[in-house]
Structure 1
Amino acid sequence: MDAHSSLVFPFSIIGFDLDGTLLDTSGDLAAAVNHAIGTIGRPPLPVEAVKPMIGGGARRMLEHGLTTTGGCDPVTLDMLHRRLLDYYEAHLAVHTRPFPGALDALDALTAQGVTLGLMTNKLERFARAILDALDLTHRFAAIIGGDTLGAAKPSPRPIQAMVAQCGGGRAAFVGDSIFDVQAARGAGLPVVACAFGFLSQPVETLGADAVIQGYEALIPTLARLGSSGPSATLSTNAA
């Protein structure tokens, strides 16, 4: 650990987004989008083009994909949404892997006595299946999907439920999208943004309390953020 390990860690709960935060799911999500739009003769999108479409749920991602490749109408969107979900469910963890340093950060937080939670706009059954495939499910005291409560980010309700399921206490959230920031803000939590995530806009414009370039910066950033108070705006350039 670092110099902060000798201090009492300021948060009892840390919540994480999944796609673009803990896991690089872009390869499998792009494959699902391309399968769906390919059934109506649309050209495939490169993974880098799909990344900014991720974060608002599968339907929103598909809508962006259709718009990009020739237009979107409600009937086609409804039809292809089912095809995308069916394909994705059968290919959830082909290319998906944790981001570099993510597991070490989870280990370090757990060693500090921190309870870990997860809130994603992905369907809960998909999130759990991916975590099971990567042997990560046991690390989280709460796993909430975009369908669990009938509300997804940017609603603060799922974040609030995550904190409650983790036992309550001072919490912070880690994500990569404007939905993450808005939901955490609405729930009254400070939020750290991941510059390596699936960004649809410059990370500095998300309005997060802190920005990290890599997971090795997460623990010291959270320690400083906790000691500075929820209104502090911090940034680190750690690679």
Structure 2
Amino acid sequence: MTPVIFDLDGTLIDSAPDIHATANAVLAQEGLAPLTLTQIRSFIGNGVVVLMQKVMAAQGLPAEGAQYERMLAEFVERYEAAVNLTTLYPNVAESLAALRAEGRAIGLCTNKPVAPTRSVLAHFGLLDSFAAIVGGDSLPQRKPDPAPLRHVLAALGGGPAVYVGDSEVDAATAQAAALPFALFTEGYRKTPVDDLPHNESFDDFAALPGIVARLS
């Protein structure tokens, strides 16, 4: 059976509230003004380093030097336990269970660091659903470089696969890896659906098993 590989933030989970709260806690510790949820949501997708660079830019501060390094380290330390404001998108657990029941191997390819990735999956009882997990700090490369996605695919046994994500980064990664892409439209993308390369799109995970069957 064709494996399925997922992005995480904005695809399986809405983690923006936790990322927002974590970033603002770090800012408060530095005596800096909080940012809005909308701002933080727009920073998600390229990993923690880029997110914190954008946080610094929003404050008019340089993304280098002692303050940046201190804030980045503080964010990373807090991030692993930041799960209580995160929610699963509707029908995610049911869809994953249905795909596994079909005999499909399930993998995860995210720019989120691997420790908070495993933490949030365990929080929702989903850690054992994934036969292979690559985070943003697992390899030297991060998405949209295709290396992480190819690494997950190899761990799942290789061959064709379907990639599921929500963003411009995910669309570019799927293209670079030459894999069919199913676009979840309720995540963190900024680009109109029609302007993102994808094979199929969906707004409810109940539809995903059928999409995977077609793309397989």
Do both proteins adopt the same fold according to a TM-score greater than 0.5, normalized to the shorter chain?
yes
**CA 1:83–1:217 in 2, change beyond 3 Å: closer, same or farther?**
same
1:169 paired with 2:187, answer: no
Matched residue, 2:76:
85
Q: Percent identity?
A: 33
Matched residue, 2:18:
28
TM-score by structure 1 length?
0.84
Shift of 1:14: 0.3
Shift of 1:49: 2.4
Q: Distance in 2 between matches of 1:87 and 1:38?
A: 13
Q: Distance in 2 between matches of 1:207 and 1:38?
A: 39
- Return the match for 1:65 from 31, 35, 55: 55
The runs of 5 or more residues in structure 2 that have no matched partner are none
Letter of the 1:183 counterpart = T
Query: SS at the partner of 1:159?
Result: helix
Alignment: residue pair count: 215
- My pick for the range that moved more, 126-135 or 198-207, is 198-207
Matched residue, 1:181:
171
Contact 2:3/2:162 (<8 A) preserved: yes
Matched residue, 1:234:
none
Q: Distance in 2 between matches of 1:213 and 1:69?
A: 34
Query: SS at the partner of 2:144?
Result: coil
Larger RCO, structures 1/2 (Cα 8 Å, 6+ apart) = 2
Could you list the structure 1 runs, at least 4 aligned residues long, displaced by more than 6 angstroms after superposition. Answer: none
Q: Distance in 2 between matches of 1:101 and 1:155?
A: 29
Shift of 1:73: 3.5
Shift of 1:101: 0.8
Matched residue, 2:192:
202
Matched residue, 2:90:
100
Matched residue, 2:129:
139
Q: Distance in 1 between matches of 2:202 and 2:4?
A: 15
- My pick for the range that moved more, 36-45 or 172-181, is 36-45
Q: Distance in 2 between matches of 1:216 and 1:33?
A: 32
Contact 2:114/2:134 (<8 A) preserved: yes
Q: Distance in 2 between matches of 1:70 and 1:203?
A: 32
Shift of 1:183: 1.6
Shift of 1:66: 2.3
Letter of the 1:136 counterpart = L
Shift of 1:61: 1.1
Shift of 1:85: 0.9
Matched residue, 2:105:
115
TM-score by structure 2 length?
0.92
Q: Distance in 2 between matches of 1:107 and 1:213?
A: 18
Q: Distance in 1 between matches of 2:22 and 2:193?
A: 26
Contact 1:37/1:66 (<8 A) preserved: no
- Return the match for 1:217 from 194, 207, 210: 207
**CA 1:161–1:66 in 2, change beyond 3 Å: closer, same or farther?**
same
